[in-house]
Structure 1
Amino acid sequence: MKETFYNSAKKGLRSPWMIGQFVIWAILIFGSLIIAMFLQYSSLSTNQLPVFALVLNIVALFCGGFVTARKSEYQGWIAGGIQGTLYILIILLLAFLAFDTFTTIHPLWLSMLAFGGGALGGIAGIQTKKNKKSF
Structure 2
Amino acid sequence: MKKLLQGVLGYGIGSILLLMVIVAAALALLLRFTTIDIDTLNQISLVAGLTILAFGGLIAAYKAEQKGWLSGILTGLIFVLAMIGFQLIFENSWVSLTQLSYFGGLVIAALLGGMIGVNMPRSTTGKK
Q: TM-score range by the shorter chain?
A: 0.7 to 0.9
Counterpart residue identity of residue 118, structure 1: A
Given the alignment of the two structures, is residue 58 of structure 1 paired with residue 50 of structure 2, yes or no?
yes
SS of the residue corresponding to residue 91 of structure 2 reads coil
What residue ranges of structure 1 are gaps of 5+ in the alignment?
none
Distance 1:102 1:127 in 2: 37
Q: How many residues align?
A: 121
Specify which of 56, 61, 76 is matched with residue 84 of structure 1: 76
- The normalised TM-score by structure 2 is 0.83
Contact 1:20 1:65 in 2 (8 A): yes
- The normalised TM-score by structure 1 is 0.79
What's 1:16 paired with? 7
Relative to total residues, which structure has the larger helix share, 1 or 2?
Answer: 2
Contact 1:70 1:129 in 2 (8 A): no
Q: State the identity %.
A: 18
The alpha carbon displacement at 1:9 in A equals 7.0
Specify which of 5, 14, 17 is matched with residue 25 of structure 1: 17
Give the CA RMSD over aligned residues. 1.9
Question: RCO higher in 1 or 2 (8 Å CA, sep ≥ 6)?
Answer: 2
Specify which of 119, 122, 131 is matched with residue 111 of structure 2: 119
